[in-house]
Structure 1
């Protein structure tokens, strides 16, 4: 813990966003980090800290709700106590984003942007020091490099989803992507420019393919296998990247590889609901769920329940399911049991009135952030099959997911693309997909139930479908071009 804290503080100084401060800190901190990363123990402590920062960045309220909130799966619960009891309002730290009107100067997502590049810089330092380790075998060094490369690619991919228009926004993906950092910031001030989206994806894919070829049999870090990157969940990430890119042949092949060769099976219908409600354990089909932070006494300091949790009628979190989502499920669909319906006092025409709300059961107690699970691979394979003229194959995969949920099976390939998108919304709700799915399908955003924004409906294409790069960063780096309309 001491090393992880030290490592994190160092990188706050050392990051891409604060390279001007680095001039004042060097050489003292540089000497310390050199000493830390000269040996395998120090590198592994650094890698542990890197996972901690990645987990915090994706589990944090902003990114954790972003795709579902913008897409229409989420609305807000009423204030539980005090003078504002019963009132419904968006949280102040997401108010502008929710309205599709974030501000570059005071961006709601500045901590996510900065945190992502801190993570990338940490990964790059590990990648630079690891090859020279004298107390690690080649297999151990390759494993460390594979995990660091995957984390670097993952962080860049998430940044591209939030700050770049989707891949098909221009015919050749020549529109602005992100800054892709492949070297650490160690001295001087650097002014990198944004890559195109085509270049961004090429770099992401190259990092992931290199990582997949470098993985050893297991991680050198302690902890559950499902909480660390490995060859199988890196392939799952690669399948998602290919999906987002619209590279259908590779998306199909990679998702199919994970389904067939990962050794993971779909959670059974009998266990599906119960497994989501277990404390401290993910569902059995998990490919990657980041471990929640636990202190030396075994106390969980933060989890997804701090975003979606419900304890009592006076103790609950801000985010609940919209009726737009809940009403999509058939009555016999097992997934409908994953909503906890409760009555909360809500101001209606100035009078406190009991109103029903639906909390998700996916993220109660000590729930971790679900990064990848096998259901998504079936849905990716289905969409890729359809896009490569194999509609019957696509329908079969959708029916595997629907049968597990006790939903009625599809009997026709008519409107299959819409049915795949619908199934993704129902199966992967609150797991960070909906808005990105809508945009890559060139769909409009329609938010009905519970929408209290001035922009409940947004038409594709929109310049507001990406967030502004924080002004601090564009002011620091004259080559960092701002997104249009900000």
Structure 2
């Protein structure tokens, strides 16, 4: 029955576990049968990518920007009242509990993906219908899946690497084998060990890649040498591993063969979201129906179609105030007046919808601008100020801002440039933690508690109650 249960996760069936357990035995497919053919393995492999895209494009995409202060909300179409969307209500108010957090599914979905990756990894030697190069490519992609999944869990459910001087605080459960719920009771690793295991998986993946593409589609939507090096750079930066962040951002910039979007084309490229911007490194393509239509997209959160059809999330006044008058990124908004009820008075109020994610956009995960900013920060942390300024000024001058020469506020300048350039792309709260900065939400904040001093237990979420109750070795986050 264990093997049957794992297959359900692998095939991404929609029936509940209880429904499945009541299914007649002759309708149950064994894992051995599923993984006995090339077609069956590739179906499972495609399912992993499908689930990754679904996790990244879910409501967690707005989490870091909403909690950090880049986002505020639109009025409801029917009542004209501005409220916090249900999917992020507790998190936005820093009032999550193990029982009420809406991020239970986020936590569980990533561990499901990890189990799927581990299942494929444990069976690769049996796939005689693959060449050795194809096996190594599959191994590499599943190792990246495992590393990235654990990293995503750590961002929301463990304090960042620098929270303690030696990263001895709690990280996450790191699964390198298939875990059976209710039978296996793994413990959380320290954050130092979590990062070590992430590195181990990424290092092995980079050594194994043959870059033989196992499925159709653009290479920027798959794990390969380039996208993995870029992922490594991002993770290393968040884990305060400045040298590796520098090394892998430099490798990725060189390997990409790409240039930054030009000042002349910057706005127009974002205005055509059906195609990714030219500096894309990794984008998870929106899923499509059999007729070729996009079935879901992150644009649902940000879109403006009409005064009666729009998304919930718009730029906060705090973010808008960061763009100087000459900054071209100030033109990256669809400005609309919407009727809003304030103090029982209905009147038009101006809202700023981002142009980044309109019209069935794919999920932008990493682009060249981020790599420049990673390399800039890594160099600044290592004392290489001239190199740090060069990369920072590449982003600034493209935005029509003047070059900076003062190194006394270099790290703060990099932080602000990340906030301006990467707004709506899911970084702000994690950047605040890495820079040991407070959450300060003012213009546009409608939370019960708008500010949060660093450090705080509430920079992260509680481990979901179901997980704690099921796993006798699970430690809850402090403060929950």
Alignment TM class, shorter chain as reference: over 0.9
Say if 1:113 and 1:13 are closer, same or farther in 2 by CA, change over 3 A: farther
Say if 1:311 and 1:27 are closer, same or farther in 2 by CA, change over 3 A: same
Deviation of 1:154 (Å): 0.8
Deviation of 1:359 (Å): 0.5
Distance 1:148 1:26 in 2: 32
2:73 aligns to what? 76
1:300 aligns to what? 294
Distance 2:268 2:394 in 1: 19
8 Å contact 1:11–1:122 — kept in the other structure?
yes
Say if 1:14 and 1:343 are closer, same or farther in 2 by CA, change over 3 A: closer
Distance 2:389 2:382 in 1: 13
After TM superposition, the structure 1 stretch with the greater mean CA deviation from structure 2, 18-27 or 220-229, is 18-27
Q: Does 1:398 align with 2:392?
A: yes
Q: Does 1:125 align with 2:119?
A: yes
How many aligned positions are there? 475
2:57 aligns to what? 59
- The one of 156, 159, 168 aligned to 1:162: 156
Distance 2:364 2:397 in 1: 22
1:49 aligns to what? 47
After TM superposition, the structure 1 stretch with the greater mean CA deviation from structure 2, 30-39 or 113-122, is 30-39
Q: 1:27-426 maps to which residues of 2 (within 5 A)?
A: 32-61=30-59, 63-81=60-78, 85-185=79-179, 189-426=183-420
8 Å contact 2:10–2:116 — kept in the other structure?
no
Q: Does 1:478 align with 2:472?
A: yes
Deviation of 1:252 (Å): 0.6
8 Å contact 2:273–2:356 — kept in the other structure?
no
8 Å contact 2:182–2:471 — kept in the other structure?
no
8 Å contact 1:120–1:155 — kept in the other structure?
yes
Say if 1:453 and 1:368 are closer, same or farther in 2 by CA, change over 3 A: same
8 Å contact 1:80–1:314 — kept in the other structure?
yes
Distance 1:190 1:477 in 2: 8
Deviation of 1:395 (Å): 0.7
Distance 1:13 1:51 in 2: 12
Query: Matched residue of 1:403: which SS?
Result: helix
- The one of 8, 11, 30 aligned to 2:9: 11
TM (normalized to structure 2)?
A: 0.94
Query: Matched residue of 1:121: which SS?
Result: helix
Q: Render the CA deviation track for 1:335-377: whole Å, top value 9, x for unaligned.
A: 1111111101011221111010100000000111111111111
Say if 1:293 and 1:9 are closer, same or farther in 2 by CA, change over 3 A: farther
8 Å contact 1:161–1:436 — kept in the other structure?
yes
TM (normalized to structure 1)?
A: 0.93
Distance 2:387 2:479 in 1: 42
Query: Matched residue of 1:264: which SS?
Result: coil
Distance 1:234 1:478 in 2: 35
Structural RMSD (CA): 2.3
Say if 1:133 and 1:251 are closer, same or farther in 2 by CA, change over 3 A: same
Distance 2:156 2:18 in 1: 26
Q: Render the CA deviation track for 1:7-52: whole Å, top value 9, x for unaligned.
A: 997018999xx99999999998985221111232211111111111
8 Å contact 1:178–1:196 — kept in the other structure?
yes
Query: Matched residue of 2:83: which SS?
Result: coil
Distance 2:314 2:203 in 1: 38
Distance 2:357 2:6 in 1: 27
Query: Matched residue of 1:288: which SS?
Result: strand
Deviation of 1:300 (Å): 0.8
Q: Render the CA deviation track for 1:109-157: whole Å, top value 9, x for unaligned.
A: 0110111111111111111112221111010011111111111111110
Distance 2:394 2:67 in 1: 28
Gaps of 5+ in 2: none
Distance 2:405 2:286 in 1: 42
8 Å contact 1:67–1:432 — kept in the other structure?
yes
Distance 1:228 1:32 in 2: 28
Query: Matched residue of 1:237: which SS?
Result: helix
